[in-house]
Amino acid sequence: MTVESTAARTPRSAGSGSKRAAKTVSAKKDSAPGRGTPRGKSTARGKGGAAGSGEPELVQLLTPEGVRVENAAYDSYVADLTPDDLRALYRDMVITRRFDAEAVTLQRQGELGLWPSLLGQEAAQVGSGRATRESDHVFPTYREHGVAWCKGVDPTLLLGMFRGVNNGGWDPNTNGFQLYTIVIGSQTLHATGYAMGVAYDGADSAVVAYLGDGATSQGDVAEAFTFSAVYNAPVVFFCQNNQWAISEPTEKQSRVPLYQRAQGYGFPGVRVDGNDVLACLAVTKWALERARAGEGPALIEAFTYRMGAHTTSDDPTRYRRDEEREAWEAKDPIKRLRAFLESEGHADEGFFAELEAESETLGKRVRDVVRTMPDPDAMSIFENVYADGHALVDEERAEFAAYEASFADEPVNAATGGEAK
């Protein structure tokens, strides 16, 4: 298979009178750097380009300043977005960011043991999440709070695991959103196996496996790429390259841009502006459509930035510079969509004020729910280990029950408030 550059980022002066909600800026035809169309072709393709020009091109539909730019290959995937749809994408990102900030604060107050913030990655998650259909199945890492939101998982359910009161907190089958996975890269294999099953069933759905830049160094990911390619599995690997794997920068993980890895496995790879919600939506729709059409896997590298710490246990000031963060602040995903909505007259002050109030209400709900989460029954750890019973689990359950029961006879010390000594 060949990889061809199809980048077609072609700005010119703003047009007017477009019927589309998302007005575009287009360039003279002959200045378009790319070619080809993503629709219905099985050709491996990507944004290779950039011979001698440093960073490769990425698919971008909305500049950091909020100007819509034309992209011949991907425009059609967002052409039907109405002003309502655009406001909904904005709402998703704002709500997601507000929820995330609340979780960070709750961790700081001792209500959660740990929290991996998604700050800065809202567009990558909302764009890709909204590209999925209800029947599509998602395999997240531990940071996909925005995708969970898009799949309809109640945000408060995400917090139980980080409070240590359950091992996941939601049923993966209810919303097509698997449990969070901490073992880096392992979910790409789960997703591939699931996608192979989807193909065997002949189901009209696809699978999205989320992974980080660091995860691409895992053997599991290499195996997932191999299996998905040879089995032509309907899985989209959505890699959020947030530039860091804890304190390890991407350049120490790969000699080539990550999306180019796909070429060696025989499927297309595309780098997209991960802070551009429209571009993430368009590229993921493209990849999901071809997966559902039996054209196999694709790798999307969403080029973005982790604005916060790796988790609340991490201090990024020890390994990265303020200037780097500041440069990415100028590319903020929420600010750029707001600028676009305002310049197009798609949203007024009333909309933003209402959204602010809605976010505050969610914040309060999250606080209330977390603080009143009941402690789990000690024996519940044995539930959901296997779908059916298992002799070893039964044995361990009995052993633990006996251990717990051994405390029953211990004398209670009234002076310590009833605590046994």
Ligand X SMILES: Cc1ncc(C[n+]2csc(CCOP(=O)(O)OP(=O)(O)O)c2C)c(N)n1
Residue ranges binding Mg ion (CB under 5 A): 212-214, 242, 245
Q: Which of 242, 263, 304, 312 binds ligand X (CB under 6 A)?
A: 242
369 binds ligand X (CB under 6 A): no
Asked if 27 contacts 70 with a C-beta cutoff of 8 angstroms, the reply is yes
Nearest to ligand X of 24, 240 (CB atom): 240
Long-range contacts, stretch 309-316, CB < 8 angstroms, 24+ apart: 309/117, 310/116, 310/244, 310/246, 310/247, 311/114, 311/115, 311/116, 311/117, 312/104, 312/107, 312/108, 312/112, 312/114, 312/115, 312/116, 312/117, 313/114, 314/246, 314/247, 316/244, 316/247
346 binds ligand X (CB under 6 A): no
Dihedral sign computed on CA atoms, order 385, 135, 269, 283: negative
Give the interface size with ligand X as a residue count (CB under 6 A): 15
CA atoms within 13 A on the CB side of 164: 7
Q: Which residue is nearest to Mg ion (CB)?
A: 212
We find the least distance from the C-beta atom of residue 250 to Mg ion, in angstroms, to be: 7
Q: Verify binding: residue 215, ligand X, rule CB under 6 A.
A: yes
Q: Does 339 bind ligand X (CB under 6 A)?
A: no
Residue 253 and residue 370: Cα distance in Å, rounded?
A: 37
Does 228 participate in binding ligand X (rule CB under 6 A)?
Answer: no
Task: Give least dist CB 245 to Mg ion, A.
Answer: 5
- Give the shortest CB-241-to-Mg ion separation in angstroms: 7
- One DSSP character per residue, 178-194 reads PPP--STTHHHHHHHHH
Judged by CB under 6 A, the chain residues 155 through 214 that form the site for ligand X are: 182-184, 212-214
Give the number of other CB atoms < 10 A from CB of residue 114.
Answer: 15
- CB under 5 to 8 A by kind: which of ligand X, Mg ion, none does 246 bind? ligand X
* Residue 310 site contact among Mg ion, ligand X, none (CB < 5 to 8 Å, cut-off depends on kind): ligand X
Q: How far is the CB of 155 from ligand X (least distance, A)?
A: 19
Q: Which residue is nearest to ligand X (CB)?
A: 212
Give the residue with the Cβ less far from ligand X, 313 or 380: 313
Question: Rounded distance, CA 107 to CA 16, Å?
Answer: 48
Q: Note the residues at the interface with ligand X (CB under 6 A).
A: 141, 143, 182-184, 212-215, 242, 244-246, 306, 310
